[in-house]
């Protein structure tokens, strides 16, 4: 990721991308002892002065490139930057060189023989740190990193440089220098294009330093950022119109334009801000953080869309139907892989902008129990969906029945599955519940079973029953949709309360319920014709009579009949 970091690190945009071998003409920095580091600082400062003179005389991209590369190389080795976010190390190295130059040029020269490290002092006898006499500028031996063993100014010294600079900047120079104030020269540094414009003639308020950089630089950088955002929003509208109404593969492919365009626009904007404007101070830190977040956001966005795009390309092959079980399994795996990729990119990006990845992981581990409890159902449903897709008890489009759930499966997602009932309603069932059910796959059946009991009226004779049995066996066996393995069966199975019971058994090897109902209807009508031909009567099961309301009428009083004797 070194190239990515280079685009985010201010004025060293192109410098960091240069191959290491291009520095063959520059001497190797000797930082093996406090004396070597002290002498190397002044020697490198003289070389940077020459590079700046060349840039001031030519004002070309090549001269600016050489200058910034030299300053970056100087600053990265002179200071301990391990405590800073990678996204801002180069910027701090550049600004620290200017501040440190102003300080060191105003300090009296120290006799080399008084500095630890006079040859041939063994490395074991060198001190762990050394402080420049009369100051609090301390250098120490690095114990980790690519330059372990070399002496560099400490992180504490780096943090206090502005304080030391404010104390000494009013004093006269004690060493010859190209500039009396290197920090001010850095703050007003601009690229070749802007240097040709009358920036020095801007009003005083725009020239004023705000948060360590001239106000006009901050305003110009804000305009560049606004242009980037406007271009991105305009492109987003065009992309959405192009992707509307297309296939899933087309939408994913067109959607990949946005993260790629976001990355290109951020890189272009950062190039202008870093190379031409030369933003510094806190605005540079904010811009670097914003650019880093945008680039890593674009990378996470591209990873998310890319995983789905690869899956859609695989599904587009003729061997995998779009709504098949394998297609849903691939889409679920794409979601899982995309989430993992996004999380890894976010953690790496957070580490780049100064949020330690190890701290994030430690925070996750501390809150792991709470997270596990909170996400228990989500994780359970996710693994339930994976187990369903891996075990394949049913496919999308199959009709299933299990527990209180029955209908056609429309989709299997990472959390739940959608089942369309026969009445048209859509039921969402958590995958964990579905994985625990005893599922009957109605669509996977090899056929349907025709099994009915025929009740003949009690007046049927033995001869009529024998004739009907033979007729039904012949007619059922002749049905083309009835399998002969096992063969159909018609048997007399017993006596009912007022009937003679026959059972007709046959297997119908059709795929759908609609086909079976059609065959079943034909068989039932054929049985009824046979019964009528034999002069028999079907004994239907009696239906319970609905209770009829009884109207109670009042009884009118009648005169008592006279006894017979009285008549």
pLDDT band of 142, cuts 50, 70, 90: very high
What pLDDT, on the 0 to 100 scale, is given for residue 349?
A: 73
What pLDDT, on the 0 to 100 scale, is given for residue 129?
A: 92
78-92, 159-173, 401-415, 438-452: which is most confident? 159-173
pLDDT band of 379, cuts 50, 70, 90: low
Do domains 381-443 and 445-533 share one topology? The answer is no
Query: What pairs with residue 400 in β-bridges?
Result: 407, 441
* pLDDT tens, position by position, 279-328: 777 787 777 778 888 888 888 888 888 888 887 777 777 656 655 556 66
What pLDDT, on the 0 to 100 scale, is given for residue 381?
A: 65
| Topology annotation, domain 381-443 | SH3 type barrels. (2.30.30)
Tokens read off for 473? 């066996």
Distance CA 439, CA 398 (A): 11
Whole-number mean pLDDT of the chain?
Answer: 78
The architecture that CATH gives domain 445-533 is: 2-Layer Sandwich (3.30)
Residues 6+ apart with CB under 8 A from 107: 132, 134, 135, 168, 174
pLDDT band of 6, cuts 50, 70, 90: very low
Residues 6+ apart with CB under 8 A from 325: 389, 392, 395, 396
Residue carrying the six token digits 């009957």:
440
Task: Decide which of 330 and 554 is more confident.
Answer: 330
What pLDDT, on the 0 to 100 scale, is given for residue 158?
A: 92
Task: Decide which of 487 and 394 is more confident.
Answer: 487
**Model confidence at 270: pLDDT above 70:** yes
CA 168 to chain centre: 52
**First CA to last CA across the chain, in angstroms?**
131
**Model confidence at 131: pLDDT above 50:** yes
**Model confidence at 565: pLDDT above 60:** no
Q: In what order do the strands lie in the sheet with 129-131?
A: 129-131, 138-141, 151-153
Task: Decide which of 81 and 288 is more confident.
Answer: 81
Helical residues (DSSP H) of 61-199, grouped into ranges: 61-78, 89-104, 155-168, 182-187, 192-195
- Give percent of the chain with pLDDT exceeding 90: 16
Cβ 70 vs Cβ 93: under 8 Å: no
- Angle at which helix 325-352 crosses helix 357-366, to 10 degrees, equals 120
- Give percent of the chain with pLDDT exceeding 70: 79
* pLDDT tens, position by position, 402-416: 877 888 888 777 677
**Model confidence at 385: pLDDT above 80:** no
Q: Which of 17-26, 126-135, 285-294, 383-392 has the lowest mean pLDDT?
A: 17-26
pLDDT band of 419, cuts 50, 70, 90: confident
**Model confidence at 167: pLDDT above 70:** yes
* pLDDT tens, position by position, 438-466: 888 877 777 888 999 988 887 888 888 88
* pLDDT tens, position by position, 215-229: 888 888 889 999 999
Look at strands 489-495 and 440-441 and give their pairing. unpaired
Distance CA 274, CA 269 (A): 9
Residue of 5, 9, 45, 11 lying closest to 189 (CA atoms): 11
DSSP E strand boundaries for 253-404: 399-402
- Strand, coil or helix: what is 520? helix
Backbone angles phi, psi at 303, to 5 degrees: -65, -40
Residue 66 CB coordination number (10 Å)? 19
Distance CA 36, CA 115 (A): 9
Domain ranges of the chain: 2-196, 215-366, 381-443, 445-533
Residues 6+ apart with CB under 8 A from 76: 89, 90, 93
């Amino acid at each position: 990721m070194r190239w990515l970091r280079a685009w985010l690190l201010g004025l060293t945009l192109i410098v960091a991308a240069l191959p290491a071998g291009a520095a063959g003409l520059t001497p190797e920095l000797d930082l093996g002892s406090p004396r070597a580091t002290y002498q190397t600082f002044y020697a490198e400062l003289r070389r940077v002065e020459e590079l700046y003179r060349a840039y001031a005389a030519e004002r070309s991209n090549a001269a600016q490139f050489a200058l910034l590369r030299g300053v970056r190389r100087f600053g990265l080795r002179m200071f301990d930057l391990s405590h800073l976010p990678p996204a801002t190390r180069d910027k701090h190295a550049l600004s620290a060189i200017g501040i440190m130059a102003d300080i060191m040029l105003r300090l009296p020269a120290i006799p080399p023989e008084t500095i630890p490290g006079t040859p041939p002092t063994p490395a074991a006898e060198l001190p762990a740190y050394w402080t420049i006499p009369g100051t609090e500028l301390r250098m120490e031996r690095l114990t980790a990193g690519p330059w372990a063993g070399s002496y560099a100014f400490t992180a504490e010294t780096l943090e206090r440089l502005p304080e030391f600079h404010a104390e000494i900047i009013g004093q006269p120079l004690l060493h010859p220098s190209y500039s009396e104030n290197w920090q001010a020269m850095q703050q007003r540094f601009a690229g070749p294009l802007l240097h040709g414009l009358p920036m020095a003639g801007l009003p005083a308020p725009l020239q004023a330093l705000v948060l360590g950089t001239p106000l006009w630089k901050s305003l110009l950088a804000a305009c560049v950022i606004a242009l980037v955002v406007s271009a991105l929003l305009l492109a987003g509208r065009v992309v959405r119109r192009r992707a509307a109404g297309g296939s899933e593969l087309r939408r994913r492919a067109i959607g990949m334009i946005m993260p790629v365009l976001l990355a290109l626009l951020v890189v272009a904007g950062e190039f202008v801000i870093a190379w031409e404007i030369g933003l510094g101070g806190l605005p540079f830190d904010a811009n670097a953080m914003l650019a880093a977040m945008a680039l890593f956001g674009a990378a996470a966005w591209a990873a998310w869309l890319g995983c789905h795009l690869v899956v859609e390309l695989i599904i587009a092959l003729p061997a995998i139907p779009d709504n098949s079980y394998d297609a849903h399994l691939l889409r679920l795996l794409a979601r899982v892989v995309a989430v993992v990729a996004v999380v890894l990119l976010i953690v790496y990006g957070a580490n780049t902008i100064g949020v330690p990845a190890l701290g994030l992981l430690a925070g996750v581990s501390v809150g792991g129990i709470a997270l596990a409890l909170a996400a228990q159902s989500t994780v359970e449903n996710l693994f339930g969906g994976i187990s369903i897709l891996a075990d394949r008890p049913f496919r999308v489009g199959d009709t299933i029945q299990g527990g209180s759930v029955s209908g056609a499966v429309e989709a299997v997602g990472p959390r739940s599955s959608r089942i369309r009932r026969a009445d048209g309603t859509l039921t969402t069932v958590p995958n964990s519940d579905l994985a625990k059910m005893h599922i009957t796959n109605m669509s996977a059946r090899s056929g349907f079973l025709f099994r009915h009991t025929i009740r003949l009226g009690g007046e049927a004779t033995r001869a009529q029953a024998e004739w009907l049995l033979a007729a039904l066996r012949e007619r059922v066996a002749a049905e083309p949709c009835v399998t002969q393995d096992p063969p159909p069966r018609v048997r007399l199975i017993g006596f009912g309360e007022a009937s003679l019971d026959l059972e007709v058994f046959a297997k119908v090897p059709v795929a759908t319920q609609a086909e079976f109902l059609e065959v079943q209807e034909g068989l039932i009508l054929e049985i009824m014709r046979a019964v009528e031909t034999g002069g028999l009567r079907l004994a239907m099961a009696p239906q319970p009579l609905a209770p009829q309301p009884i109207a109670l009428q009042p009884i009118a009083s009648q005169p008592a009949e006279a006894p017979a004797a009285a008549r």
